[in-house]
Amino acid sequence: MKKTERKKWGAFFEKWRGFFIIGCTAFGGILGAVLVYLFSGEFPYEVVLGSLVGAVLLVIIEVIKKKRKKDNVPEADERVAHNVFRFFAFSSHLFLAVLFIGMTIFTLIGSDNIPLLYLWIFFFAYIWITGIGSFIAKRR
């Protein structure tokens, strides 16, 4: 691919990046539902409906963002991207360390099984904290 073609396609993908991500996410939800149908024989309609409703809402938000943006200034520069990347790297390592230490403590206490509710709480706390932290890291 020539340099001019790369620049042309780069500009195209930069403009339509959000819609591409939304489309791939909706496709992943539908593909997951099809795979569940193939392996278990039961088609989860709620997954397909949820992914389509989510995709429509995200497309509406993306269109509003595109209409409101008047200049060509990027939303984030290299420093912001580097800060967000560092935050995700540190937070994921920290949560894995806490999970490892917690499992070690449960093993030392003599408990052979961990209640699934604790793992779900830990998982959602990770998503919640990293989501809010990424917004803070992006604004700094």
Q: What CA–CA distance (Å, rounded) separates 140 from 130?
A: 15
Average pLDDT over residues 57-78: 81
Average pLDDT over residues 13-26: 86
Rounded to the nearest 5 degrees, what angle is found at the Cα of 59, between the Cα atoms of 129 and 55?
70
Q: Residue 2 above 70 pLDDT?
A: yes
Mean pLDDT for the chain?
85
Q: Residue 122 above 80 pLDDT?
A: yes
Q: Residue 51 above 80 pLDDT?
A: yes
pLDDT at residue 68, as a whole number? 83
Structure tokens at 73: 């200034």
Which pTM was predicted?
0.56
pLDDT in tens, 68-118: 877 776 666 778 778 888 888 888 899 989 988 988 888 898 888 878 888
**What are the DSSP E strand ranges found in 14-118?**
none
More confident residue, 140 or 129: 129
pLDDT at residue 116, as a whole number? 83
Q: Residue 55 above 90 pLDDT?
A: yes
Q: What CA–CA distance (Å, rounded) separates 125 from 138?
A: 20
pLDDT in tens, 31-45: 999 999 999 989 999
pLDDT at residue 107, as a whole number? 86
